[in-house]
Structure 1
């Protein structure tokens, strides 16, 4: 993967999509400066190679009734290292979890969560996370605002 090199056209496609999201193929081809058929072939190849891992709509949590966002640092117990993959899979599908980051460093995971209110946040941490046997500690930080990086 790291040895695969993107040529200039592929780099332009990735850059435009990274900054503007998904565009109709004709608009993407025009911005990149290639024919629509070339652009579509290149885009499909980027997806097949795993360079582009998916397309999604980024929805503001407040619009779906989840205005409170937080980052929760989770450290697992030393003896629970064999449970990392299972923990990762379990928390990734929790309704409140927006993103899961598996880390090197003092914490094992950071969870970006969105909830209806502080009562749900407290319950998520105390009942949903802290009671899991592999969890040694959690630390919760409220998010006041965020902006997606790399966007034009």
Structure 2
């Protein structure tokens, strides 16, 4: 996909705003909200996808309902910052079933991992087995997530 560098008009912004709130909205309903024909709306959405502005859609999951009763953010510092080490850690950690997301960070910590586990013993085992057992790990800190909400508003730039 192309990298988006074109200016967006008000219709594009409105389409993105509606899709950001509900990625499952039908094209017919989206077009009705925006006040345009379904075929024109679909053409606009496809262009936003082709231009790399829309990179897919997402699904919100209740991890608690699946047995992930604890969510945590795990900050990780590496002792080696070579491209290979950073890429390999990220690739390996994404394979762990507990990992929801990985943020490669600037600053003191190199990575912030969003994880979900069944209980505190599971969290401890995950940290020991998947993280601290690795030779390139210098420091790990874990913080429990009490609540997690995602904005339903499109950011303005």
Question: Do these two structures clear the TM 0.5 threshold for a shared fold by scoring above it?
Answer: yes
Partners of 2:72 and 2:115 within 8 A in 1: yes
- In structure 2, relative to structure 1, the CA distance for the partners of 1:50 and 1:2 (3 Å cut) is closer
Structure 1 vs Structure 2 CA RMSD: 1.7
Partner of 2:12: 10
What is the alpha-carbon distance in structure 1 between the residues aligned to residue 60 and residue 69 of structure 2? 14
After TM superposition, which residue ranges in structure 1, 4 or more long, deviate above 6 angstroms?
none
- In the TM superposition, residue 80 of structure 1 has moved relative to its aligned partner by 4.6
Matched, 1:26 2:28: yes
What is the alpha-carbon distance in structure 1 between the residues aligned to residue 136 and residue 44 of structure 2? 44
1:78 match: secondary structure: coil
State TM-score, norm by structure 1: 0.91
- In the TM superposition, residue 67 of structure 1 has moved relative to its aligned partner by 1.2
- In structure 2, relative to structure 1, the CA distance for the partners of 1:57 and 1:2 (3 Å cut) is closer
Gap runs ≥5 in structure 2:
none
Partner of 1:46: 48
Gap runs ≥5 in structure 1:
none
- In the TM superposition, residue 16 of structure 1 has moved relative to its aligned partner by 1.0
- In the TM superposition, residue 60 of structure 1 has moved relative to its aligned partner by 1.0
More helix by share: 1
State TM-score, norm by structure 2: 0.89
Number of residue pairs the alignment of both structures matches: 152
2:93 match: secondary structure: helix
What is the alpha-carbon distance in structure 2 between the residues aligned to residue 79 and residue 123 of structure 1? 25
